[in-house]
Structure formats: structure tokens, C-alpha cells
Amino acid sequence: MKRMIVPLSIVISILGIILFVASMVKSFEKQEIYPAENTVRMNPDDRNDLEKAQKALDELYQYIDQEKQNFKVDTRTDGFNLIKIYNSDELDGVFGNRREDITYDDIIDDINANTGISLPYKKLYLTLVNNLRGQYPSLDLRIWHMNLQTLKIVELSEMDMQLKAMSGTASAVYRQDENVIYTVKEYEYIPGTWEYQVIMHEMGHPIRSLNTHLGETRVKARFQSYSGHGTVIGEALNSLLTLRSYDPYEKDIAYQFQSNMVELMVTEMDNYTYQDFVEHNLTYFEQKLNEYNGDEDAVEVIGLIELQYQDYHDKEYEIKESTFHKVYDYIAKMYYGNHLKSDMTEEERLKVRDEFIDKLTYDVPEEYQVNIPYLNEYFDQYCTELVPA
């Protein structure tokens, strides 16, 4: 993918500079206080790292327990002037219309009539509409329709965007609480560039995320899991929904590693599509994974993917790389189950393995420490136990 050379891409946020300098100071301090010795000992920072890592693991498995308990609950909540919507079929009794009442033509009319969206962004949004109409003609469009009544696309300076997005490199961000997509002034969104993918990603969020009022009642579409977990998985699915609507072959994608893993799963499943992502919460995704694989492991796998992302971004602790082997095994089993055959030659099997590893690890930062030898070991184990020669 071409990445435009724009001023924002070389802007380093003030916060980033402070954190970098602080980390360097801390590094020098450690060298002075804890000089190299012949014996290995745990310093206070190491102990603190282990404690924080264990706390993150404990919180993950608390979420897993909570999510499994909530798998069968009635998810629509009325009370305290609040209605939470977890799946699109629950909209029938809230908005008073049926899914077939809102068409893509209505969405086009909404965009054209919206004075909060300037002409260049209307053209971009209409492109996304037509892309999705071609692939998902029966998509439930009611949340999108509702959001488009008040949605604004607001251009900011580079500095203001950094503050709004809490990032030094963001070119766009959707704020659900405001129903506003913020972008950087004078960006030119050209197909095939990173910035084009980003704006399409942000334009995808209002399709399924809602925070509005009906009279005195607040209505929220909470399409994470029942337990509220799954933000990163949702971001990956949103990236895939929007990018795959116009480019089936692009490999560079937002939330790269998580998107790699999610796309591998969705592509191999025969009971879930990106339309399901629009119309259901992420617990539904977990349920469909369990159904497809015939086990109860999806909640843990999704949780581990989330934890791995958190571990990558939180430099205060580090989770052992082997903690995430279950994720790789889980996805590999899905992939190999569809692509490895007992009558394949050794060369053909190795080609399947290499294609899987390439799809899984494409453009993954080294800090994730993906253990390629372990992936090869699992392949050998799979071939020995499940596809014997």
C-alpha cells in the first residue's frame, strides 16, 4: 500500500517525546543502580513487571468467566431511562421500523441531505455505501440511518487531531459520544493510500455504533461482547469490513496483527460474515466460532488476542510469549482443517504451512515476538496426529 508523505506522519506527539525521554532516563538509572553481576537476581522493576503481567492475566480470566456466564442472557436492558442494544434484531421494538424499511437509497439521501458533511467527504461516504451495497444488499441499515441524521465530519489542525485522538499519527477518528468523525485539514484521501483506508475505517463505525436519545430515554448500541470486552477485535473487524468492500487483496491494514488473525478465522468459517459483524455483538462472533470448531475456546482465544494487543502497547509489563500459543494453535487448526489433505505430498503440505504463516505474521512488529519455530512445531504435530502420512 502506498503511504502518503504528509506532515502528520512525521509529527511526534509531545506525550510520545516525554515517554521516550523518561524511558531513557529510567534505563540509565537501572544501569547505575543494578550493575551487571555474575549472578542473576530479580530487581524491583522485574518484580513489578511480573506482578503487573499477572494482574493483566487475572483480569483476562475474570472477563472470560464473566463472558461465559453472560452467553445466554437477555441482553436488552430497560431501566434508568437507558436501553442497550446488542443485536440489530432488538431494534424492532425501539425505533419502530423494520430492517427492510431502510434501504441504501435512504442512506444515500441521508448523506446528501446532511449539512454537517462537506462535499468531498460526501463523495467518499457514497463510495463506501455503493461498495457495501454490492456485497451486502440486505444489510441492516437502521443504525447507520439514525446516525446520519446528526453525524458531522469536522476538520482539525494536526495538533488538535493529536489531542482529540490521543495519537501523534492519526489522520481521522470517530467519537461515538459526539457522533463526529474528526479529520485533519486539507488531507487528500486517494484510493490505495493509508489515509484512504483510515477514513473508510472511521466512516464504518457509525454503521453499527450508536449513542442517541429517544425522548428522555438514552439508547446505546453496545456491539462489543455481553461483558463489554472486545474493543480491539471490533476494530479489526471494522477494518476488514471497510477495506474488503473495495480491495480484496490489500495486505496492509489497520490493527495489522489482530486483523490478520481475525481475517484468517472469518475466511475459514462457513457460519459468519462481515454482515454478521454489523448486525450482532462480538459475543455472537464467539458463539459462531464455538459452533464452527465444536468447542468452548472462543472466549479465551478472543480474550488472549485482546491481551496481546494490550501487552504490546503497555510497556510497563511483558506477558510471556508462550501465553499466546493457544491463539496460534486455534487459528492454525481452522486453517489446516480446510487446506491440508491426507493425500498431499510433503511439498504441498509445506506450501500450505508457509502460506498460513505468511498470512498470520504479515507485517507484524517484532515486539510481538511471534515464535516461528513453534508454529512449525504445531504444523508437524497437526500433520502427525490429524493428517497422518
Q: Give the model confidence (pLDDT) of 195-221 as tens digits.
A: 999 999 999 999 999 999 888 888 888
Average of per-residue pLDDT across 295-311: 94
Using alpha carbons, list the distances in angstroms from residue 52 to 59, 121, 369: 11, 43, 19
- Percent of the chain predicted with pLDDT > 90: 60
> Given a cut of 80, is residue 84 above it in pLDDT?
yes
Q: Which candidate, 329, 342, 328, places its Cα nearest to that of 370?
A: 328
**pLDDT band for position 310 (cuts 50, 70, 90):** very high
- Rounded Cα distance, 305 and 313, in Å: 13
- Stronger pLDDT, 385 or 116, i.e. the higher one: 116
The tens digit of pLDDT for each residue in 85-105 reads 888 888 888 888 899 999 999
Is the model's pLDDT at 4 over the cut of 80? no
pLDDT at 123 over 90: yes
Per the prediction, the chain carries an average pLDDT of 85
In the predicted model, what is the mean pLDDT of residues 301-306? 94
Name the one residue in this structure whose C-alpha cell is 503481567. 53
Candidate from 36-40, 76-80, 143-147, 188-192 with smallest mean pLDDT: 36-40
Q: Give me the percent of the chain exceeding a pLDDT of 70.
A: 84
The yes-or-no verdict on residue 389 having pLDDT over 50 is yes
* pLDDT > 70? residue 176: yes
Model confidence at 133: pLDDT above 50? yes
Question: Would you state the pLDDT for residue 11?
Answer: 36
- Confidence check: pLDDT of 49 > 90: no
Residue 40 has pLDDT above 80, yes or no: no
The confidence band for 300, taking pLDDT boundaries of 50, 70 and 90, is: very high
What is the mean predicted confidence (pLDDT) over 228-250?
93
Phi-psi region of 381 (alpha: psi -120 to 50; beta: other; left: phi over 0): alpha
CA distance 224 to 202: 17
Q: Is the pLDDT of residue 83 over 70?
A: yes
Mean pLDDT value across residues 121-146: 97
The confidence score (pLDDT) of residue 36 equals 30
Q: What is the model's pLDDT at position 371?
A: 96
- Decide if pLDDT at 224 tops 90: no
Q: Is the pLDDT of residue 169 over 80?
A: no
If DSSP codes are grouped into helix, strand and coil, which group holds residue 373?
Answer: helix
| Average pLDDT value for residue range 104-124 | 98
| pLDDT at res. 308 | 95
CA distances from residue 8 to 84, 190, 239, 325 in whole angstroms, order as listed: 37, 16, 21, 36
Residues 6 or more apart whose Cβ sits within 8 Å of residue 254: 197, 198, 201, 235, 236, 239
Average pLDDT rounded to a whole number, residues 322-337: 97
Give yes or no for residue 17 having a pLDDT over 90: no
Looking at the chain, which runs of residues are DSSP E strands? 77-79, 82-85, 152-156, 172-175, 180-184, 210-214, 217-221
Model pLDDT, residue 73? 52
Residues forming beta bridges with residue 154, ordered by sequence position: 182
Least confident window among 33-37, 263-267, 307-311, 318-322: 33-37
> Phi and psi for 2 in degrees, rounded to 5?
-75, 135
How crowded is residue 364: how many other Cβ atoms within 10 Å of its Cβ?
A: 16
